[in-house]
A and B are shown apart, each in its own frame.
Chain A
Amino acid sequence: MIRVEDPGPQTTVQDLGRSGQLRYGIPPSGPVDVRAFVIANRLAGNPDGAAGLECTLMGPRFTVEAACAIAVTGAEAPVTVNGSPAESWATLSLAPGDTVRIGAARAGVRIYVAFAGGLDVPPVLGSRATYLRGRLGGLHGRALRRDDVLPLLRGPSPAPRRAAPGERPTLESEPEIRVVLGPQADRFTADGIAAFLRGPYEMLPQSDRMGARLSGPRIAHAQGHDIISDGIALGAIQVPGDGQPIVLLVDRQSTGGYTKIATVGSFDIGRIGQVKPGQRMRFRAVDLAEAHRLRRAWQALLAAAAGGPVTALPAA
């Protein structure tokens, strides 16, 4: 059991998300940076889909009631156990009563904390992930608050491990995010598409798990910015009338009526999710074959990361 002493600005319970609910308007949720989340679980000796915490810009302070292993990954933030500096991207073995504090992110946005066994909140529609706007899943459908108590499932005592240096993603100052143009790229002028690919775009502070709102060169439409509503894929980039792109993420609306210029590859969703408000980024177009190749490469890296999966994922 863990007791939350300070939740941080927005800390939610997440697992790998729920599927099959978008046709009812319920998004998958789950971690924005899947890779960091999965590695945290492996370091804590968990299956990849065990429920842990996603923290935003700053981590929580919490105390564990019993001995337990945890791991902190994702954005670069200072971690202390009972006031002494502790490692990120490594297994931390905690004793009963230990207090962990995760500070403000120096680079990146989303910090992940995995607990051996995983957090035990009731699954909703097959997942423990929190969908904040829908007040669904997680702990009462909301972000953590001070004095919340989270039970843990019985877990292993993993042999302490450290992620290899190559497995820790570099948080670049101006990342290049790879996109496939479409499905409505034909609704923009050639200059509009050129402006989009030239960038750079700055991450706006109102970005959240629903969408990354960006500000930069105006993307001009050729013929209106509305379409008959259709489905919104993960990473779809909507451009409303103001010509500023919005990248839709894990808590996105299922459908929408704005033109979509391109889609961010699933392999780069985690990278865009680590771009801080005020930080800049650019887009680069790749074709579909290249996107598939990049996805396979991303999956191969993840398959081997932190010693590979601890146990097979439960059938979803």
Chain B
Amino acid sequence: MALCVELGDEISAEVNTRVRALEFLIQAKGFPGVVETVPTFRSLLVYYDPGQVAFEALCAGLGELAEQATTATLPPARLVELPCCYDAELGPDLVAAAERLGLTTDELVRLHAGAEYVVYFVGFTPGLPYMAGVPERIRLPRLPTPRVKVPAGSVGLGGAQYCIYSVESPGGYWLLGRTPVRLYDPEAVEPTLLRPGDRVRMRPIDRAEYDAIAAGVAARTYTPVIA
């Protein structure tokens, strides 16, 4: 059984921080009967066992925790650095996006890689981060026609949202480049790389470094930088 706790109806840092803080409080206090939680932009889905906790008691308890869910309660976030090759082959929309924004591709890359992003939640496909923190200057509406296939690792922009495709899937974001790091690797001990709340920075790399890191990832000798 599941219960959805809605903490707002908007995509904002404030609402999302409260969602993650509520999840953290549930984990920290070991709320009896709560089996699993799924944070999103503005809500927390709480799976529970009605044999262990009555619905009314769960609602009351979650309501109390939601009151306490402020920014102060979250532990410090990890900072993950992801190498990214911004070029026309790996980022087929890089040139068009820059043109549309009235920027050179170098300026677009500088703005995109200069920002720090926050993972609001991970979901839809395994390990796919929904991130905020896209600078105003480089926001674009989504592509009019989504692509049928977007390769894993593609770095995509759509409105104020930023995501990195974790598996090959259809997608409607502008593709600026690609990271050779795997956000989802079913054969790894920890198959998903990013967690809700992580801070993410992109480090621009050239094609030679992309290929070198991709080889290291395939050989399982490459470890991403996480501080």
Is chain B a partner of chain A in the same complex?
A: yes
Judge whether B2 and A20 touch: CB under 8 Å. Answer: no
Question: Which residues of the other chain, B, contact A234 by a CB distance below 8 angstroms?
Answer: 2
Other CB < 8 Å A-B pairs besides A26-B191, A231-B4, 17 of them?
A23-B37, A23-B38, A23-B122, A23-B123, A24-B122, A24-B191, A25-B128, A133-B125, A134-B125, A134-B186, A230-B41, A230-B45, A233-B4, A234-B2, A253-B124, A254-B124, A292-B1
Query: Which residues of chain B have a CB within 8 Å of any CB of chain A?
Result: 1-2, 4, 6, 9-11, 23, 35-45, 47, 50-51, 55, 121-128, 130, 166-167, 184, 186, 191-192, 195-196
Judge whether B167 and A134 touch: CB under 8 Å. Answer: yes
A19, A24, A124 — which one has the most chain B CB atoms within 10 A of its CB? A24
Instruction: Count CB-based A-B contacts (< 8 Å).
Output: 111
Question: Which residues of the other chain, A, contact B186 by a CB distance below 8 angstroms?
Answer: 124, 134-136, 141
Question: Which residues of the other chain, B, contact A19 by a CB distance below 8 angstroms?
Answer: 35-36
Judge whether A23 and B36 touch: CB under 8 Å. Answer: yes
Question: Which residues of the other chain, B, contact A24 by a CB distance below 8 angstroms?
Answer: 122, 126-127, 191-192, 195
Sorted nearest first, the 10 A-B pairs with minimum C-beta distance are: A231-B45, A255-B123, A233-B2, A231-B38, A24-B192, A136-B186, A254-B123, A25-B126, A230-B43, A25-B123
Complex Cα–Cα for A133 and B124 (A): 12
A99 at the interface (CB under 8 A from B): no
Residue of B nearest to A184 (CB): B4
CB distance from B119 to the nearest CB of A (A): 11
Question: Which residues of the other chain, A, contact B55 by a CB distance below 8 angstroms?
Answer: 288, 292
Question: Which residues of the other chain, B, contact A141 by a CB distance below 8 angstroms?
Answer: 186
A133, A183, A254 — which one has the most chain B CB atoms within 10 A of its CB? A254
A259 at the interface (CB under 8 A from B): no
Residue of A nearest to B43 (CB): A230
A315 at the interface (CB under 8 A from B): no
Question: Which residues of the other chain, A, contact B51 by a CB distance below 8 angstroms?
Answer: 296, 299
Complex Cα–Cα for A292 and B42 (A): 27
A125 at the interface (CB under 8 A from B): yes
A20, A233, A253 — which one has the most chain B CB atoms within 10 A of its CB? A233
Residue of A nearest to B8 (CB): A228
Question: Which residues of the other chain, A, contact B166 by a CB distance below 8 angstroms?
Answer: 25
B2, B9, B122, B196 — which one has the most chain A CB atoms within 10 A of its CB? B2
Give 22 pairs: A residue, B residue, CB < 8 Å, sorted on A.
A23-B39, A23-B123, A24-B122, A24-B191, A24-B192, A25-B124, A25-B192, A26-B192, A134-B125, A134-B126, A134-B167, A134-B186, A136-B186, A229-B124, A231-B2, A231-B4, A231-B45, A233-B45, A234-B2, A253-B123, A253-B125, A255-B124
